[in-house]
Amino acid sequence: MTSASNDPRWLTAEQRVAWLHMVRVLTRLPATLDAQLERDAGLSFFEYHVLSMLSETSDHTLRLSRLAQLTSSSLSRLSNVVKRLEAQGLLRREPDPDDRRASRAVLTGLGLAAVEQAAPGHVTTVRDLVVDALDDAQLDHLRVAHERILERLDPSSATRPDWFDN
């Protein structure tokens, strides 16, 4: 026999090329987004993401456990970051009236102003690096591929925002 049957199936040359490209994007894109936001707004991408998720809800409020899902972070990491953001006055924590174990994070006016100030530069960076690098068809193909991947990464769609209709 030429190969044991429990070999992992290696990648073909084409698959390997595609994967190695993806790894480079996966490592460089977040670093670049972080650098821009840190430089222009004093926020990490993760902090921006947290504030941004809050700003999308109608009452600017989310339970910490939900916020952890939406940002794909551990509760421990989120707890630390929320504490820092609270110390900066960008949000505040309040007990959840419906469940006394839980806390809710509420965006403050200062926090909303911070996201709104940071957003234009961030959007410009996203355009420069991704959206404007692709034509409409290519961006749509990228969306489809990401949807397929997300079905594997997150079958329950727990990380998908509720307001995300599509």
Which of 7-15, 100-108, 119-127, 153-161 is the region at the interface with DNA (rule: CB under 7 A)?
Answer: 100-108
With binding defined as CB under 8 A, does residue 66 bind a copy of itself? no
Is 117 a residue that touches a copy of itself (CB under 8 A)? no
Pick one of 30, 89, 95, 109: the residue that binds a copy of itself (CB under 8 A). Answer: 30
Position 102 contacts DNA (CB under 7 A): yes
* Contact (CB, 8 A) for 154 and 71: no
Distance CA 166, CA 164 (A): 6
Choose, by CB under 8 A, the member of 41, 47, 49, 118 that binds a copy of itself. Answer: 49
- Which of 36-44, 80-88, 101-109, 114-122 is the region at the interface with a copy of itself (rule: CB under 8 A)? 114-122
The backbone region for 17, taken as left when phi is positive above 0, alpha when psi lies in -120 to 50, beta otherwise, is alpha
Q: Judged by CB, which is closer to a copy of itself: 52, or 108?
A: 52
- Tell me if 142 sits within 8 A of 131, measured CB to CB: no
For 11, residues 6+ apart whose C-beta sits below 8 A from its C-beta are: 19
Does residue 118 touch DNA according to CB under 7 A? no
Q: Does the footprint of a copy of itself cover residue 21 (CB under 8 A)?
A: yes
Q: Is 76 in the site for DNA (CB under 7 A)?
A: yes
Residue 53 token pair: 């998720």
Residues that bind DNA (CB under 7 A): 31, 35, 38, 44, 46, 63-66, 68, 73-84, 93, 96, 99-104
Residues that bind a copy of itself (CB under 8 A): 7-11, 14-15, 17-32, 49, 71-72, 119-121, 123-124, 126-131, 133-134, 136, 138-154, 159-161, 164, 166
